[in-house]
Amino acid sequence: MANQTLKAEPILGLTDRFTVKLDFDNFSFKSTRYWADLVMEKFRQKGYIMLKSSEKHYHVVFDRYVSWDENLSVIAWVAILSKSVPLHRYLAMQCIKMSSTLRVSPKGDKPSPRIVFRYGCQDHAIKDFLRYRKLIKRIVKEEVR
């Protein structure tokens, strides 16, 4: 037992309280866009990006900064209306952590999420998200060397 070594495989993500981020598991591209467009309309978001994290798994990041209360409201609204159990779990975990997170680095055999769609303004929260995402990906790349 004393000779065992643990190999940590960290999964890096971006966490904050003021950027609306949604994690859609087992959703099609079309379905994910449908919900992102509804959030845009209902919550006066100015734009969003969609990232594909794996087959039928998408992340959405919105551009307008919001309060933590509004952030939770958006996540809860989509989770309840979509009846998505994974989105309910995502909501619960974000509530427990008191911030929202999306994965940026590879995870097991899954590559880093890649941008597959952009809509509207991307000058605020999305710009910051992409800047930090680039930094994290650079750090991960250096670690692999």
pLDDT tens for residues 75-123? 999 999 999 999 999 999 999 999 999 999 888 888 889 999 999 999 9
How does residue 140 score in pLDDT terms, banded at 50, 70 and 90? Answer: confident
pLDDT tens for residues 30-62? 999 999 999 999 999 999 999 999 999 999 999
Radius of gyration of the chain (CA): 16
pLDDT of residue 100: 94
Is the overall model pTM greater than 0.95, yes or no? no
Residue 44 backbone zone (phi > 0: left; psi -120 to 50: alpha; other: beta) = left
Q: Where do the structural domains in the chain lie, given as residue ranges?
A: 13-144
94 neighbors 37 (Cβ within 8 angstroms): no
Distance CA 131, CA 98 (A): 23
- Output the CA torsion sign for 100, 63, 81, 83: negative
